Amino acid sequence: MSGVRERKETSSGTLKSGTILFIMIIGAFLATLNQTIMSVATPELMKDFSITAATAQWLTTGYLLVNGVLIPITAYLMQRFTTRQLFLTSMLTFFVGTIVSALATGFPVLLTGRMIQAAGAGIIMPLLMNVILTLFPPEKRGGAMGMVGLAIIFAPAIGPTLAGYVLENYKWETMFYGMIPLAIIVIALGYIYLRNVSETVKSKIDILSVVLSTIGFGALLYGFSSAGSKGWSSAEVILPIVGGVVALVLFTLRQLMSSNPLLDLRAFKYNMFTLTTIINIAVTMVMYADMMLLPLYLQGARGYTAIESGLLMLPGALIMGFMMPVAGKLFDRFGAKWLAVVGLAITIVTTLGFINLTDSTSFTYLVLMSTGRRIGMALFMMPIQTAGLNQLPQRLNAHGTAISNTIRQVAGAVGTALLVTIMTNRAATHAKDWITSGAAQGWTKEQLATHAQIEGINDAYLVIIAIGIVGLLLSFFIKRVAQAEEPESKNALKKASVQEA
């Protein structure tokens, strides 16, 4: 590896890990909250800017695209710059994007502000996870990851409800104005208290890898994100996915041949990291069922408002958030295997409660089933991810966190596209069958569409159960392994000797 290593800015004796973690968790909370609040505002923005739903959706899609493109580059950024430099830069970028969004007078300006926000927010979560891997030994990381889970689950839990309240009483700009003082506080705390917690390496960035990564992940995310609305046969879906796959194949080959890769894919040679990454793909898709299908059912088929939809999911999300630190402590003591098995079993059983939804399913029933799903997810989400990262040697921490977060972004996009496609296709099939058999006789078009959509959602939940079962079966192979120790290359040893001399 080319470059000169710098010393840590603080010694372990003076490093206040609790303060550093607290400040970074607040930053992660703001970034995560920002991902969820705009979905509720879509109808009002469509009216204010005279735009279609497809155009308004870019406020969310564009945000995810920037995140997905930027995350693979964070491994290099985390090695090249200090923790303090990177965190302050990301929060300042987020702050600028928030101001641009608040002052937006047209949709293009608002979209620009959102994408600037995403550029800052995309760095924060991988950076926070890397800091935890650096500050805490493997046997104590579960508790720290649990606290991170509290922040990143609590934010989306209150996001839709908070946004719904703001939109009923104030203009949509208020959501951004409210974030400005919070971002200023986080930036001030970071400037005063943050220190670097890992070694930095001054190395050159591989521009070709950045280009291939940007095209690959960007095109792939765009293609899958568009599939739900445009259909899998659309050229706007097929071409980006094919182009993205080709670019990612070239990116992968370059990383494996490079002595200083942008994203070190050699992390996959560690079996537990690979296994938990595969499981994470499944559980991310399982998680998206509650986040995407349930609001579609509540607001699209049942006519509930955005606030009512948010309130229904709030109890489970809050319980999930508060359970995650407990799950982290249990992980430190018992490992991830049985937490994952029990958690996925609970999630699968409670998801069975969503395969027979009707147009009269009670609100209380939905609250109980949704809360049950969230309790199960609290047990396995962070433990599975932490178990894989714990196996990686110290030098691969930044790359492991970047890979993990990138995989989750792609899995989220693929899962959403898959579920929407299944729901749409099955709804059309049910409607056609009812019309052919005469079962829809006497129904209005609206009634037919509502019943078909509900049945399509039921079928999508069945697929979610199947994906969950795959994750459950794989969880039985999780083992508690020690952190790997890799001997440094001859070149690295030689450089270390020169530095010591």
Decide if 62 contacts 116 (C-beta within 8 A): no
- Is 487's pLDDT higher than 60? no
To the nearest 10°, report the CA torsion of 436, 442, 444, 448.
-40
- Is 156's pLDDT higher than 80? no
Considering the domain architecture, whether residues 111 and 239 belong to the same structural domain is answered as no
- Is 397's pLDDT higher than 60? yes
Interval 284-319: pLDDT, tens: 888 876 677 887 788 778 888 767 777 887 888 788
Here the contacts of 444-450 (C-beta below 8 Å, separation 24 or greater) are 450/301, 450/359
pLDDT at 157: 67
Interval 442-480: pLDDT, tens: 888 888 888 998 999 999 999 999 999 999 999 999 988
Question: Which H, E and C letters describe 362-378, residue by residue?
Answer: CHHHHHHHHHHHHHHHH
Q: Please give the full DSSP string across 135-169, using - where no structure is assigned.
A: HS-GGGHHHHHHHHHHHHHHHHHHHHHHHHHHHHH
Considering the domain architecture, whether residues 303 and 199 belong to the same structural domain is answered as no
pLDDT at 142: 82
Residue 33 included in any domain: yes
pLDDT at 458: 93
Distance CA 361, CA 301 (A): 11
pLDDT at 440: 76
Interval 26-43: pLDDT, tens: 888 888 887 777 766 777
Considering the domain architecture, whether residues 323 and 189 belong to the same structural domain is answered as no
pLDDT class for 13, splitting at 50, 70, 90?
A: very low
Distance CA 306, CA 47 (A): 16
Give me 142's structure tokens: 């579960």
184: left (phi over 0), alpha (psi -120 to 50) or beta: alpha
Report, in this order, helix, strand and coil percent for the chain, each rounded to 5: 80, 0, 20
Domain total of the chain: 3
Distance CA 472, CA 376 (A): 12
Distance CA 281, CA 275 (A): 10
Please state the φ and ψ torsions of residue 218, each to the nearest 5 degrees.
-65, -50
- Is 499's pLDDT higher than 60? no
Domain membership of residue 219 as a residue range: 207-257
pLDDT at 263: 84
DSSP 8-state class, residue 200: E
- Is 60's pLDDT higher than 80? no
pLDDT at 443: 86
pLDDT at 319: 86
Estimate to the nearest angstrom the gap between the alpha carbon of 154 and the chain centroid: 14
Residue 458 included in any domain: yes
Residue 459 included in any domain: yes
Find the helix packing angle between 207-230 and 58-70, rounded to 10°. Answer: 150
Decide if 32 contacts 150 (C-beta within 8 A): no
Considering the domain architecture, whether residues 428 and 486 belong to the same structural domain is answered as yes
Residue with the bigger pLDDT between 136 and 5: it is 136
pLDDT at 53: 66
Residue 282 included in any domain: yes
pLDDT at 39: 66
Amino acid at 487: P
Considering the domain architecture, whether residues 142 and 225 belong to the same structural domain is answered as no
Considering the domain architecture, whether residues 148 and 231 belong to the same structural domain is answered as no
pLDDT class for 486, splitting at 50, 70, 90?
A: low
58 contacts: CB under 8 Å, gap ≥ 6: 111
Q: Please give the full DSSP string across 171-198, using - where no structure is assigned.
A: -THHHHHHHHHHHHHHHHHHHHH----S
State the average pLDDT for the chain. 83
Amino acid at 263: L
Residue with the bigger pLDDT between 410 and 185: it is 185
pLDDT over 70 percentage in the chain: 91
Q: Is 28 helix (H, G, I), strand (E, B) or coil?
A: helix
Closest of 75, 88, 45, 59 to residue 191, by C-alpha = 88
pLDDT at 490: 42
Distance CA 90, CA 372 (A): 36
To the nearest 10°, report the CA torsion of 177, 154, 146, 270.
-80
Residue 78 included in any domain: yes
pLDDT at 351: 93
Amino acid at 79: Q
Residue with the bigger pLDDT between 240 and 141: it is 240
Q: Is 25 helix (H, G, I), strand (E, B) or coil?
A: helix
Cα-based distances in Å from 106 to 34, 43, 100, 302, 451: 19, 15, 11, 32, 38
Considering the domain architecture, whether residues 194 and 236 belong to the same structural domain is answered as no
Considering the domain architecture, whether residues 300 and 289 belong to the same structural domain is answered as yes
Closest of 18, 30, 67, 76 to residue 197, by C-alpha = 18
Please state the φ and ψ torsions of residue 6, each to the nearest 5 degrees.
-105, 155
pTM of the shown model: 0.80
Residue where the block lists tokens 């494996």: 256
- Is 399's pLDDT higher than 80? yes
Considering the domain architecture, whether residues 404 and 286 belong to the same structural domain is answered as yes
Distance CA 472, CA 469 (A): 5
Distance CA 205, CA 253 (A): 17
Cα-based distances in Å from 18 to 24, 194, 352: 10, 11, 40
pLDDT at 72: 81
Amino acid at 445: K
pLDDT at 495: 42
Residue with the bigger pLDDT between 187 and 306: it is 187
The CATH number of residue 348's host domain is 1.20.1250.20
Considering the domain architecture, whether residues 289 and 410 belong to the same structural domain is answered as yes
Considering the domain architecture, whether residues 357 and 440 belong to the same structural domain is answered as yes
Considering the domain architecture, whether residues 441 and 329 belong to the same structural domain is answered as yes
Residue 407 included in any domain: yes
Helix intervals (H) in 352-489: 363-391, 397-437, 445-475
Residue 262 included in any domain: no
- Is 113's pLDDT higher than 90? yes
Residue 14 included in any domain: yes
